[in-house]
Structure 1
Amino acid sequence: MHLLLLLLAFFLPPKTKAGEIIGGHEAKPHSRPYMAYLRILDQGSQQRCGGFLIREDFVLTAAHCQGRLKTKAKLNPAVQTIKLPRSKDKVMSGKVCHVAGWGRMVPPKGRFSNTLQEVKMRVQKDRVCELEKVLSKYYNSTIEMCVGDPKEKCSSFQGDSGGPLVCNNVVQGIVSYGKSNGTPPRVYTKVSSFLRWIKETMKSHQ
């Protein structure tokens, strides 16, 4: 069987950047067994992305992290799937969730991390992203979430695209885009908005 990369229907708007971890810390070994590190070669260039295992033969990631791996994960204590949300799940503003990845740790061109980093992020009201000049043109509250307190230097940024936003051990969002300087808030894709499509796609590949 193939380990398929499910591609969510969003694209990076102009003047925005994909995700990395800023202001976080190294994750405890094997504490996030669903995490996937993707290194994608495209016409000689290399792209780094995150992803997460939702079935032994499916990794969920971002639309611009395209690729396909001919393999199947072997589940064990260090390799596990993560729960998907329910279709009607809604994460309230103020909720503290976690993001993890191997992206750059210092904007704009800091080094990529050799170890998995994680950071706490607080979900914001849609209005916070709608008021940001760079984000307001593209932000869609129907399929996206606004995450990250503008008063804190904790964020996702370049190199972490496709990684999960985990709330109470359930994946609720996917690292999407934000301002080019890496400051919060950032925009995450709502997994619940695509749940039906995700399940139908997995079922068709059983």
Structure 2
Amino acid sequence: MVTHLNLMVLVLVLTLQEPVHTGEIIGGHEVVAHSRPYMVLLERHMSNGQKKYCDGFLLNEEFVMTAAHCHAKFYRVFLGLHDYRKQNGVWRVNVYKKFQHKGFNETDFRNDIMLLKLSAEVKFNDKVKPVALADDDGSVPKSCVVPGWGTTEKGELSDVLLEVNVTLTDSEICAKENKYCSEGQTGPSTGDSGGPLVCEDGKAYGVVSASRPKPGGSTIYSYISLIKLVSFDLF
């Protein structure tokens, strides 16, 4: 028997040109503890025995969304986490099954989204809640944030949840290419891969995928706007 999970998702994927970076918050600040209760830390156990990390965000009691390139042999999911060094009361759960977008391209990161079905249903509380997804109403967000536990300017993973403010710019070039853009020396420059782009209405507008540095020390953050019905087959 095949069950279909249909989610209307506005996916904003960072531009996918070489060199591509994934995984850190640059110029971020610590968030108020548990003020982003939808945030998920993914501990990725790789085939070679290594551990790697990505972010994700909670959609409902059963599903987490992340980036498709955040693949792993198996996952440990942390919910209700703020400080990795203090895990009392943190919900830790495994992943039952992953549903990578069928159109994901590992070369250019197109359709870089993936759903993870958790092995147990999550019970919501003040530290664990889902995030609403953006509506397809034609509006263009301006002020957004990207939260995550990624690498900081010091080159180390952050123990506490950080976030960086991103202001989307008015760019005719980006508009013609169906993208949103921001530019500067702060942002998810090497991505907090799999985490959400959350804008002023408090809704998730996209999944962090990758970014491209610009000569001179700045970085161009280009968010490709894709409104689509994402269908995954659940067996």
Shift of the 128–41 alpha-carbon distance from structure 1 to 2, 3 Å rule, reads farther
Instruction: State the AA in 2 paired with 1:83.
Output: A
**Distance apart, 1:155 and its partner CA:** 0.7
The 5 Å alignment of 1:94-173 reads 95-106=142-153, 110-127=155-172, 141-142=177-178, 144-146=179-181, 148-150=182-184, 153-158=185-190, 160-167=192-199, 168-173=201-206
Question: Greater helix percent: which structure?
Answer: 1
Correspondence 1:22-101 to 2 at 5 A: 22-44=26-48, 45-67=50-72, 69=95, 70-92=119-141, 95-101=142-148
Map of 1:193 onto structure 2: 227
- Per the alignment, residue 210 of structure 2 pairs with 177
1:46 is displaced (CA, Å) by: 2.9
Q: d(CA) in 1 for partners of 2:12 and 2:145?
A: 23
Residue type at the aligned position of 1:58? F
Distance 1:165 1:121 in 2: 9
Using CA pairs under 8 Å that are at least 6 residues apart, name the structure with larger relative contact order, 1 or 2.
2
Gaps of 5+ in 2: 76-94, 96-118
Alignment identity in percent? 35
Q: Secondary structure at the match of 2:204?
A: strand
* Structure having the larger proportion of residues in strand: 2
Q: CA RMSD in A?
A: 3.2
Q: Structure 1 unaligned segments of length 5 or more: list them.
A: 131-139
| Cα pair 1:50 1:102 within 8 Å, conserved | yes
The TM-score normalised by the length of structure 1 is 0.72
Number of positions where the alignment pairs a residue of Structure 1 with one of Structure 2? 178
TM-score, normalization: structure 2? 0.64
Contact 1:48 1:160 in 2 (8 A): no
Higher Rg: 2
Q: 1:172 to 1:31 in 2, by over 3 A?
A: same
Residues 112-139 of structure 1: per-residue CA shift (max 9 Å, x gap): 1000001110112455669xxxxxxxxx
Describe the SS at the equivalent of 2:211: strand
